[in-house]
Amino acid sequence: MTNDQVYAAGLLNRALDPSTQPPEIQDFLRAELDLLREFVAAGARLLDVGCGTGRHLRMLADRISLGVGIDYEHSYIAEAHGQVVDPRVHFVTADATLVPLRSTFDCATCLTNTWGTMTDKVGVLDEMRRLAPLAQTRLLSVYSLDSIPPRREWYRRLGHSIAEETDDFLMTNGGFRSEQFSEARLRDLIGDCTIRKLAKIGYVATF
């Protein structure tokens, strides 16, 4: 199976169930939400790339002037529409390397290592730069190498034990491939950026 097929089978919703998450994963997710509240200013126009079922835009709906979430998995977009009823928030099924939007945003995010599951990472960055054109208004959160042990356990709980492990990625027996990053690799891929630790197992990069 590919990542597309694994996501279509509902992996995201099961992964977001706290009962499946080791403590290190829970800490990362909480730190990510705190960071997002800090990063997105009141009244901002926000683009969320790889939005899944819209949980981040749902959390921020009362403070943004416009929120658009994009995801290639249509079932997640359909679920997001059902969960977020706010005229300021919209969801679009789209390829993150070919976003069908011309308007620009105050900030763009790609969170919870979603970028680490994408094939054309540079293409995604290019679209984030196009749609949020000001420097330091684009934010990625990704896993570091320290995430490997808790992710190995997390995926096992989700029925995806590890079939292949390298310094760059974990591949499960169910076909799910998720990458992790060193600071050096992040800088090679992103270019000019600011990187800091997020909880004990991740990084946040702004560019």
Give residue-wise pLDDT tens across range 135-192: 999 999 999 999 999 999 999 999 999 999 999 999 999 889 999 999 999 999 999 9
- What structural domains does the chain harbor? 3-144+182-206 (3.40.50.150)
Residue whose C-alpha is closest to residue 151's, from 175, 169, 130: 169
Sort 90 into a burial class: Cβ within 10 Å, 0-12 / 13-18 / 19+. Answer: middle
pTM of structure: 0.94
The predicted pLDDT at position 156 comes to 95
Using 70 as the pLDDT threshold, list the residues of the chain that sit under it. 1, 3-4, 6-9
The predicted pLDDT at position 155 comes to 95
Alpha-carbon dihedral sign for residues 22, 114, 148, 15: positive
CA end-to-end span of the chain: 33
Tell me if 153 sits within 8 A of 141, measured CB to CB. Answer: no
The predicted pLDDT at position 8 comes to 66
